């Protein structure tokens, strides 16, 4: 089994933090050199371009969030609890998001629009994966007879993800977690409306 390249992993991790807090355009190779303590040659031996680093960093951020989602889903004992635990991942979006700088999907969607098609495609795939994950929980809730079957799981999942991303954005803009708290309150009320009596 091939040993992981620790230097490559360091570059990806530090770049992920920089891109998510400063933005892709505002982060230079020099910034990555400073954050890693590596010379330019050590970085370019592992990545041909800054864009390659961006893609690897986005994939890393996606894995971190996916692990958080899976963990939250496992901790819930009911469909409602599983979905509320997912929403709670960003409960403190202002001061303690899962990854410093906020939601990498939201940040990437804004920054890659029209300027980096490959990254935009990766972000679109990550969004679709997130919606499918939430839809699978809803579908399981219907099969387990916790939820009524009179809704489209994919549509509701998309709405839930979209509203959470909007609440994360509003929290970052206002510097307050109140939009997240409101979103969680109304998400819970909406989900309860689909529960079997």
DSSP string, 124-174: HHHHHHHHHHHHHHHHHHHHTTSB-S-S-HHHHHHHHHHHHHHHHHHHHHH
Q: Where are the domains of the chain?
A: 6-193
Q: Name the superfamily (CATH) of residues 6-193.
A: Tetracycline Repressor, domain 2 (1.10.357.10)
Does position 88 have pLDDT exceeding 90, yes or no?
Answer: yes
Distance CA 116, CA 14 (A): 21
- The predicted structure's pLDDT at residue 197: 79
Does position 37 have pLDDT exceeding 80, yes or no?
Answer: yes
Q: In a 10 Å sphere around its CB, with 0-12 CB exposed, 13-18 middle and 19+ buried, how is residue 79 labelled? A: buried
Q: What is the pTM of this model?
A: 0.92
Question: Tell me: the pLDDT tens digits for 118-167?
Answer: 999 999 999 999 999 999 999 999 999 999 999 999 999 999 999 999 99
């Amino acid at each position: 089994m091939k040993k992981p390249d620790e230097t490559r992993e360091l570059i990806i991790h530090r770049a992920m933090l920089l891109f998510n807090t400063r933005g892709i355009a505002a982060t230079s190779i020099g910034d990555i050199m400073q954050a890693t303590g590596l010379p330019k040659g050590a970085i370019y031996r592992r990545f041909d371009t800054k864009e390659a680093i961006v893609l690897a960093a986005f994939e890393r951020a996606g894995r971190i969030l996916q692990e958080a989602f899976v963990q939250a889903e496992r901790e819930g004992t009911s469909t409602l609890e599983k979905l509320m635990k997912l929403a709670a991942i960003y409960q403190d979006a202002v001061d303690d998001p899962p990854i410093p700088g906020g939601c990498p999907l939201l940040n990437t969607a804004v920054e890659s629009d029209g300027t980096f098609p490959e990254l935009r495609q990766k972000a679109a795939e990550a969004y679709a994966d997130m919606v499918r994950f939430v839809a699978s929980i809803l579908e399981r809730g219907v099969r387990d007879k916790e939820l009524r079957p009179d809704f489209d799981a994919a549509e509701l999942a998309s709405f839930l993800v979209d509203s959470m991303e909007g609440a994360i954005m509003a929290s970052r803009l206002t510097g307050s977690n109140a939009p997240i708290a409101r979103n969680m309150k109304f998400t819970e009320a909406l989900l309860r409306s689909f529960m079997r009596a």
